[in-house]
Structures are given as C-alpha cells and as structure tokens.
Amino acid sequence: MIVQDLLIPASTADTCRLSFFLGILLHITAFRRGEWHLYTLHLIAAIVIISGSATAALTILGPDNGKSVAGVAAAARAVATVLSTCVLGIFSSTLAYRAFLHRLGPFRGPFLARLSSLYMTFLSYKDFQLFDEVHKLHAQYGDIVRVGPCELSIADPKAHHLILSKQSRCIKGPWYDTNHPSTSVHTTRDPDDHDVRRRYWDKGLGSRALRDYEPRVQKYAQQLLQHVEASCGKPIDMSMWFLFYSFDVMGELALSKSFDMMRHGVLHDYVKSLHANVAVFGALRHVAWALPLYQTIPGLNRLYVKLHEWIVEQVHLRKERETEASDVFSCIAAGYEANGMNSALDVANFHDEVHLVIFAGSDTVGVSATNILFELARNPDIAAKLRRELNDYFAARETPDAPSLSKLAYLGACIDEGMRLYPVIPSGLQRVTPPEGLQLGKVYIPGGTIVHMPTYTVHRDERSFVHANEFIPERWTTRPELIKDASVFAPFGAGRYSCPGKQLGLMEMRHAISSIVHQYTIRLAPGQTEEGYLRGLRDLFTMAVPPLKLVFEKVDTGVV
C-alpha cells in the first residue's frame, strides 16, 4: 500500500516535502563539510543507481506488478520527482548557507561569487584575462576579496609570508588534484611526499647538472639567433620562435629528443594538445569538481587522452633509447627506481613528472622571454643600455657562459622586471589555510579556506614597488628606493614549493636574450601595437602570449 501511495499525486507531494528536507539535512551534515571534488563521478553513479533501483522497485511492487509501460512511466516520474526535490533541497540549503550564514560572510566581494565558484569560471572564460578581472575586484573591494563560496583572493603584501613562505602551514588546494590519483612533484598535496620527490628534481636541476645541459641550451640559442638573422629587417613573430626554442631545449633535456620545431618552424602536435588542455584546466581551476568529467566523458576527453598516450609512448621510447648525455629524465627515473617503482600508480606518477618537466620548463621560459622583448622593443633607451653592458661582456669573451651571464646586473634586472610585470602564473597559486586559520593583522581568516595571492596584482602594488606599472630595471640595480618590499617578488614561486627549474629557466633566457640584444636593435613591426599585444595576453593558469611581431636590425660595429 505504501508503494502504491507513492504513485498517487497527493502522497507524492508529502514524500517530496520529506525529500526536500532530507536534501537540506544532507547538506548540513555531509556536503557542507570537507572536500567533495574527487567524488563527482561517485555521486553521479549513486544517483543513477538509486534512481534505477527505486524505479525498478516501484514498478515491480506497483499495482500492475510492472506489466505495463504506463506503470514503468509512473514509477520513473515518481522517482524523478522525489530525487529532484531532494537535490533542490541540497541546493537551496547550500545557496542560503553561502549567502547568509557562511563563515566567510564578513568578507566583501561580488554577491554571485559567494553563491558559486561558477562566477570565477565565467570570468576565466570571459576574455581569458582573469588576472585583470581579479585586479579590478581588488580595486573595488580592497585587499581581501571573497571570490568563491569558500575562497579568498588576498593582495595584502603582508600575507605573502603567511601563505607562501617555507614556514607557512597552508597546503595546496583542490585544483592540484587535476590528475588524481596520479601526481607529480607539483601536484602532490602531501608536503612530505613533495619533499621526497623534490630531491630527485634537485639532483636533475642542480649546478652540476646545469653545467652538462648548457652546451645544449647554447646550441638552440644559436639556432634561434640564426632565425632572427634570416628575418633581419622583416617582421618575425618572436612569441612563436621563443616557444619553439624553449620546447626544443626541454625536449632534449626531458627525453633526450628535440621537438625539432626550430628546424621545421612548425608547432608540434604535442604542444597543440598541451595548450588546449591547459586552457581547459586553467578555466576550471575554481571548479575542481568538473575536472573528472572532462577527463572521463568519451569525446570530451579526447585531447586529454591523446596527451596522456603521447607521454606514455615517449617515456617508453626514452627508456629503450640509450644515451650518454645526462638529462632530467634519468635523474628523476633514478630516484623513482631507488624507491621502488612497483605499482601502476608509481608508473603514472612518473609519467606526470615527465610531462611536468616538458611543460614547466618550456611555456614559462617562452612566455617570459617574449614579454621581456616586448618591453625592450617599446623602451629603446633601456634596450640600448642593456646593449652597452652586453658589448662590454662580449668584448672580453668569444662565447657566453652561464656563470658569467648570471653576473650581468642589468641583464638580470631586465629579466626580473619583465617577470615582475608579467608573472608566469598571474592569478596566483591555490592554497588552503590550516585548521587553526590565519591571523593577518586584525583580520582572521578561518581554517579550511581556499586562498591565493594574485601575483599580477601583488607585483603591481605601490606598497611594494614605486611606479609599479612601469618597466624600470634600475629598481633592481641603481635605484633600490623603487622597491619597498622585495619579499613579494617570487616569479618562480616561494618556500618549499618554489620552482626547482629556476636556474635552468634563467640560463635559457640569459643565453637567448643576451645574444639577440647584443647584435640587434628591436622595434615593434608595422601593425603591431602595444595595446593589441597587452589585450592578447591570456590567463590559462600560466600566462599565454599573443603573436609578437618584431623587426630586428643588425647593429653596426661600435653602435650602441
């Protein structure tokens, strides 16, 4: 009789009311607590199983014992109605809690942002300039902005030590579970696991290893210079050629095999797939629960699967290929094998490490070098000053080398200033506050809150840098008064999670930029505007740059 009552509209209404309150109870007792982004597929499966089982039970136990289509349809409608009201209860309770009762209620920000992380996802997709959108939010709401139901963007320079320093008790946020269950040194959220893996990387990217890598970096820097020479007096897209340069270097160091993009002048399929995936992962960084859907749904996951299969294949080929030259791959592989690479998860983790070597060492260098040349092209006086330093340097030696290049103060200042204005990760890195929370001056930030410091905004804050929006390399050399707080400058990250490839990246940029600026003047090509380039910058978690058409003219002997 109870089963039959469910199929009667009046009784179904009572059941729906009960279901609605059950949804509220589920939110209060379960979904409001902890992290649920890894359970997206489980929850979908549970809904399918429950609805299917309930429909079958109602059909079989119904008045006609499941012998008619009408009975099945009635049962399905009843189950769908009850489940829908339960879900409605969950969402109603969630929205009410986030809007009026959440512990982050006192923090200001867009009202829609407190209701759903989809607000920030919308801003991410809007023009792919999330760094600028966040910059505007801080201008409107202040140092701390609530940008999600449980997420704060913090631009106060004093927060840098609390959130990102080695002493910070904050851990990495949910976004880092992008490839769960596999992880790399970058995506593991376990600090102890990170420290173990970091040792493999430090061995592969230490000073001794860099000495072995430098001849290969020099080789590709010379190839880049040859392409600049071939285009002398004509427009050349340097964002593309810096990309080719950085990926060819990292292909050599990660897999002992170049992508040969410098040779052929064509974007490799791997790089195309990589950038397409990065765009998706970057846009979904605030809705980590959506990532399992992207990775799992057939068709939707085509590029993700293609990228993964390519990495697996290349790791297999690299293991079969004997090479006398040292590379990052061999150092990381040795660390994994020493610890016993026995499980399928260990193998998957290693694949993630190799992918990280290529991506982290390539895009970041190419993007930063492009932005630096953009600033030198629109600041010819600064380029001339740098050329004078390089003239003195090259007059004393025939071939540049990493140790001596690292001592060139103005070259280093131009690189630092470029990375300050155009940080590689412009919207910052996601962290979660410790259970006891954080005390930022008079402001208490509750535990378990997702926080990030928007690097683009922090690096352009007058409290830390005078004339913060201007490209002034002298702030790092002869005009230290233009820096009020250097501690917030962390283009390669800070603390225990700082980039292990920092020195390799700097080596690549120093070799490429010094060789070009020493021999050529630089100007924007006809039709290439400053405004157009800046509007074309994209925030895909890492920064992406638009085409940058430059014209190079050979410097006559003695011309500076």
Amino acid at 358: I
Which secondary structure element, helix H or strand E, spans residue 543, and what is its range? strand 542-544
Are the beta carbons of 550 and 524 closer than 8 angstroms?
yes
Closest CA to 254 of 503, 542, 501: 501
Are the beta carbons of 431 and 150 closer than 8 angstroms?
no
The count of other CB atoms within 10 Å of the CB of residue 402 is 20
Tokens in use for 172?
């990495």
Is 96 exposed, middle or buried (CB count within 10 Å of its CB: 0-12, 13-18, 19+)? middle
Q: Report CA dihedral (515, 521, 522, 525) to the nearest 10 degrees.
A: -130
CA distance 83 to 77: 10
Closest CA to 154 of 487, 534, 444: 444
Query: Within 13 Å and on the Cβ side, how many CA atoms surround 309?
Result: 8
Who's near 498: CB < 8 A, 6+ residues apart? 490, 492
Radius of gyration in angstroms for the set of CA atoms belonging to the chain, rounded to a whole number: 27
Are the beta carbons of 427 and 442 closer than 8 angstroms?
no
Which secondary structure element, helix H or strand E, spans residue 152, and what is its range? strand 151-154
Characterize 38-70 residue by residue with b for buried, 16 or more Cβ atoms within 10 angstroms of its Cβ, and e for exposed.
eebeeeeeeeeeeeeebbeebbeebeeebeeee
Are the beta carbons of 383 and 251 closer than 8 angstroms?
no
Whether the bond between 547 and the residue before it is cis, its omega within 30 degrees of 0, is no
483: DSSP letter: B
CA distance 489 to 484: 11
CA distance 328 to 197: 13
499 annotated among ligand-binding-site residues: yes
Q: Report CA dihedral (45, 49, 51, 52) to the nearest 10 degrees.
A: 130
Who's near 239: CB < 8 A, 6+ residues apart? 366, 370, 545, 546, 547, 548
Known binding-site positions = 499
**Which amino acids are annotated as binding site for heme, given as ranges?**
499
